[in-house]
Amino acid sequence: MSRAAVVFDLFNTLVPGADAARDRVLEEMATVVGVDPAAFVRAHHESWSDRLVRWDAAQTVRILAGRLGIHPSEAAVTRAVRLRRDLGARLLADVTPATFDALDALRAGGYRLGLVSNTTAETTELWPATALSRRFDAAVFSPDVGAAKPDPRIYRAAADRLGVRPADCWFVGDGADGEPAGAAAVGMAVLRTTEFQDTDPAWPGERVASLSELVTRLRA
């Protein structure tokens, strides 16, 4: 079956997830607002579902600090948010030349490119200014649609914005958050990438070791 589009995950698919770096920045943010760093990191991880679809970065700082008994000043919240946004900018810029080459090759081959990402609000704000964004015909972020993978709505939104059916799409991701099953459930063909992290080794479908291999696979 010929497919017209490739829909990518973002973190640990196009750029590294950098979990350790994220936690270090969270500890810095905690110090800025005056809460225990370890407790703030735990609270941050536990609030994942809310941060994906409901809270922006400033709300996240205020709410989590409040849960830990601190009500930070607006100046402290602003400084903490700046740390988070600076990290987001660094992560979105951490793209290898091989990744750009693969995306450009797919576009040259006639594929429309889409993105679906479970992420937080600062990523959606930073995305338009990135070099990555210029390679994509559509990008769907969980805060924008109020739904996160594996919810079928986020995949269908990507297909709609690309002007194709889900069945016309390949989905490529590392496998986090049950994303392969979610994509398959709406009719997308799934290729799991292990380039940055072997996130879901139990997934029984096809996998590729790099985006360069992906290009070769889709040209076959």
| Predicted confidence (pLDDT) per residue in 145-160, tens digit | 999 999 999 999 999 9
Q: How far is the C-alpha of 150 from the C-alpha of 119, rounded, in Å?
A: 13
Average pLDDT along the chain = 95
Q: Which of 24-28, 40-44, 216-220 is predicted least confidently?
A: 216-220
Residue 220 predicted with pLDDT over 80: no
Q: How far is the C-alpha of 2 from the C-alpha of 59, rounded, in Å?
A: 44
Where are the chain's structural domains? 5-16+94-219, 19-92
Q: Find the mean pLDDT for residues 80-104.
A: 97
10 versus 3: which is more confidently predicted? 10
Residue 219: pLDDT band with limits 50, 70, 90: confident
Q: How many CA atoms lie within 13 A of 40 on its CB side?
A: 25
pLDDT confidence of residue 217: 92
pLDDT confidence of residue 52: 94
Q: Which CATH class is domain 5-16+94-219?
A: alpha beta
If DSSP codes are grouped into helix, strand and coil, which group holds residue 74?
helix
CA dihedral sign, ordered 176, 17, 48, 161: negative
Residue 2: pLDDT band with limits 50, 70, 90: low
Neighbours of 67 (CB within 10 A): 14
The DSSP symbol for 13 reads: T
Residue 1 predicted with pLDDT over 60: no
Residue 3: pLDDT band with limits 50, 70, 90: confident
| Predicted confidence (pLDDT) per residue in 106-122, tens digit | 999 999 999 999 999 99
| Predicted confidence (pLDDT) per residue in 31-86, tens digit | 999 999 999 999 999 999 999 999 999 999 999 999 999 999 999 999 999 999 99
What percent of the chain stands above pLDDT 70? 99
- CA–CA distance from 104 to each of 71, 136, 168 (Å)? 47, 10, 19
| Predicted confidence (pLDDT) per residue in 161-208, tens digit | 999 999 999 999 999 999 999 999 999 999 999 999 999 999 999 999
Please, are residues 3 and 169 in contact by the beta-carbon 8 Å criterion? yes
- The order of strands in the sheet holding 5-8 is 138-141, 112-117, 5-8, 169-173, 189-193, 207-208
